[in-house]
Structures are given as structure tokens and as C-alpha cells.
Amino acid sequence: MKHSTLIILSVIGLFFTSCAVVKQDMVGVKRKFGKIKTRTLEPGLYAVNPFTTTMLTIPSRTINMELRLNLPSKEGLTISSEISILYRIKKEAAAEILRKVGSRYESTLILPVFRSASADVCARFFAKDMHSGERAVIENKIQERMQELLDKRGFVIESVLLKSISLPTRISQAIEQKLAAEQDAMRMQFVLQREQQEAKRKRIEAEGIRDYQKIISNGLTKEVIQMRSIEVMRELVKSNNSKVIITNGKTPVFLNGNK
């Protein structure tokens, strides 16, 4: 009885050791007698001979490789930066990567290529460019250079991101001073525009008053003034209030009071 139980347990143990699982977002490659097979295996359960074969797996998803490096600039400064490299392998190249580079491909291949590409690209730009709209240009050029070097090795470089840039103190101060000067210039331009608009408004208002007075002046003939005087005297006569009228026959001057 004990002998039968031992056999059963041995069979079960052999069964489980003869199976290998390739997890989701991974691909697998069999290594038999130390040699890497060329076939790439998708996620799933596979039978392997535990005495001769090993299942090697490698991520097929996008990997975010984060690192901190010192980058050179065109003027010879050293810029400290935090970088993210987003990359993935080509599934069909998994066996070739494991055969020629190994499972430590990040430190063996990707990082050295990035160091070379970033040094080559950043040396063409000034330090201040890394804090301006040129940053995206720098990122794209590093990505393109890395892809050029790694494409045939089975890697796809999706993006290179310069997340944090630490410039030398004097460069940071110079950039801040320039930005402050630009803000002051924009503020002064706004004030000048506002004053110009106000001056224009006052000029238009003065011209309107001048034109109005000119029109009134041209329309006030002797006959009109005499007619207006007669109308005023007529209204005074109709009024019930006590009044004293002093006139030279042309223009009345009067004092009135209530009863």
C-alpha cells in the first residue's frame, strides 16, 4: 500500500515538473540541452522534459526603464536628469535576444545604447534648451537614435522622456531673470496699449465736443437768438410766479420768486 502511494505521488510530481506556464504579457522560449530554440511561445501551458529542457520567459509588454543620468550640453555643462525609457521587445525576436544578449539585456544593451545616443544628441543643444520647447525635440532625437541602433536587435523604443532637469545654479538664475524680464516687457506693453487706447478715446471725445460746439456756433444767428428770447419772454408772461423782467428789448434778464 505504501509502495503504491509512493508511486502515485512520484507520478504526480513528475507531471507537474513536466509542465511550464508562460504567463500573460510574457513570451516563452525553450532551452534544450543548453541551446535556445527558435520558436517563440505565446502565453499558455506547455509540456517540457524537466531533465533536458528549461522554459525561459521574457516580458512582451511595454517596460518603463527609469534612471538618473548626467547629460552633457553644447556649452560643456553637465545636466542632471531623470529619464524614462519606454520600450518593448518584438515577440518574434525573443529567442534571438536571449541567444545573443541574454536576460540582462537592459544593463547589457539598452542602457549603453541610451548613454551613447543621449550624449550624442544633448551635446548639440544648449542647457537652456532642455527647459524650453526644445525638450520634446531632444527626446524625439534620442528615441530615433536608439531605435536606429536597437531595431535590428529586436527592440522597439516607444518613447524617451526627460522627466526632471536640474540645471547648474547660474543657468537657472539666468533663465529666471530672462523670464522675469519678458514678463515685465509684456506688462509694460499692456500698459502702453491701455494708455494709447485711453488717449485715443479722449481725442475722439474732444473732437466730438469741438464738432458739436462748431455746429451750435454756426447755427446761432442773430435771428435765432432773437426768436429764442421772444419764446422765453412769452413763457415768463404765462407764468403765475412773481417776476421782475429787465430787458433791453433783445435779451431778457429776470428774477423770479414763488408766491
- Per-residue model confidence as pLDDT tens digits over 85-117: 999 999 999 999 999 998 899 999 999 999 999
Rounded CA gap, 59 and 114, in Å?
20
DSSP string, the chain: -HHHHHHHHHHHHHHHHTEEEE-TTEEEEEEETTEE-SPPBPSEEEE--TTTEEEEEEE-S-EEEEEEEEEE-TTS-EEEEEEEEEEEE-GGGHHHHHHHT-S-HIIIIIHHHHHHHHHHHHTTS-GGGGGSTHHHHHHHHHHHHHHHHHGGGTEEEEEEEEEEEE--HHHHHHHHHHHHHHHHHHHHHHHHHHHHHHHHHHHHHHHHHHHHHHHHHHH--HHHHHHHHHHHHHHHHH--SEEEEEESSSSEEEEEE--
- Per-residue model confidence as pLDDT tens digits over 126-154: 887 877 778 899 999 999 999 999 999 99
Residues 41 and 125 in one domain: no
Listed ranges 121-125, 173-177, 188-192; the one with the highest mean pLDDT: 121-125
Residues 21 and 72 in one domain: no
Listed ranges 4-13, 90-99, 205-214, 231-240; the one with the highest mean pLDDT: 90-99
Rounded CA gap, 42 and 67, in Å?
30
Residues 91 and 141 in one domain: yes
Question: Which domain-ending residue is among 167, 185, 201?
Answer: 167
CB 109 within 8 Å of CB 150: yes
CA atoms within 13 A on the CB side of 130: 32
> What is the pLDDT at residue 225?
62
**Residues whose CB falls within 8 Å of the CB of residue 77, separated by 6 or more in sequence, listed in order:** 127, 167, 168, 171
pTM over cut 0.75 = no
- Per-residue model confidence as pLDDT tens digits over 9-37: 444 544 445 778 888 899 999 998 888 88
Domain hosting residue 248, numbered range: 222-257
Residues 86 and 142 in one domain: yes
Residues 177 and 158 in one domain: no
Residues 113 and 176 in one domain: no
Residues 159 and 72 in one domain: yes
Residues 146 and 133 in one domain: yes
Residues 136 and 83 in one domain: yes
Residues 161 and 183 in one domain: no
Residues 68 and 52 in one domain: no
Residues 108 and 24 in one domain: no
Query: Residue 58: how many CB atoms within 10 A of its CB?
Result: 19
Share of the chain above pLDDT 90, in %: 28
CB 154 within 8 Å of CB 89: yes
Please give the tally of structural domains in the chain. Answer: 4
CA atoms within 13 A on the CB side of 169: 0
